[in-house]
Amino acid sequence: MEEISKSIIEDAAQGDIGAFEQIYKTTRSYVYNIAFRMMGHKEDAEEVTQEVFIKVHSNLKRFRFDSSLTTWIYRIAVNTALNKGRQKKRFWEKHLNLEDHIREASISNPSENMQGKEDSEEQIRQMLETLSPKLKACVILKDIEGLRYQEIADTLNININTVRTRLKRAREILIKMASSRKTARHELS
């Protein structure tokens, strides 16, 4: 993603619509991707993305340049998605029952579940859905968005060692889940 100059940020903070539009165009796809991966649904991701940019616009005057603007926006996006997720009852119900659904889908027709990139991406999304929001945020920012550990720590406003611990736990869960799915498919063969 291209860097946004300090002058554009300052202009946007002073009410320059063109400058804010440039910030929006530069960061919107990243915000949407984070929101989609956190929420799991297009409509929820669009809603979160809209809320994020309303918050960015409202609070841009308070941005202190202590971190990069993208780190600040990532933090807003993750926190907004986490808060929105807590408000959605179906979000939590899906978390509670998702592992059973994945197992049933894998057992019912394993050949269909492994076909094509879309199926693979759906399986990854489903596996991410089983993680707690804190673990999922770290995985998304590191493995999907490509942020470094310190950037993740800054984004989530946590210690870098907490980032490492959360990533380790998340990967252990995902590896265990993947191996249990593999074992289930192997037993059916």
Last residue within a domain, chosen from 87, 120, 146 = 87
- Whether residues 77 and 105 fall in one domain: no
The structure tokens listed for 31 are 């915000």
| Last residue in a domain, options 87, 106, 121 | 87
Per-residue pLDDT tens digits for 155-168: 888 999 999 999 98
Whether residue 74 sits in one domain with residue 131: no
184 pLDDT higher than 50: yes
Neighbour count for residue 67 (Cβ, 10 Å): 17
Do residue 83 and residue 104 come from a single domain?
A: no
Q: What is the pLDDT, as a whole number, of residue 41?
A: 84
What is the pTM for the complete model shown?
0.59
Q: What is the CATH number of the domain that holds 37?
A: 1.10.1740.10
pLDDT digit string, tens, across residues 14-47: 999 999 999 999 999 999 999 998 888 898 899 9
Range of the domain at 156: 89-189
Q: State the total domains in the chain.
A: 2
pLDDT at 3 over 70: yes
Angle at 85 between CA 105 and CA 136, to 5 degrees: 65
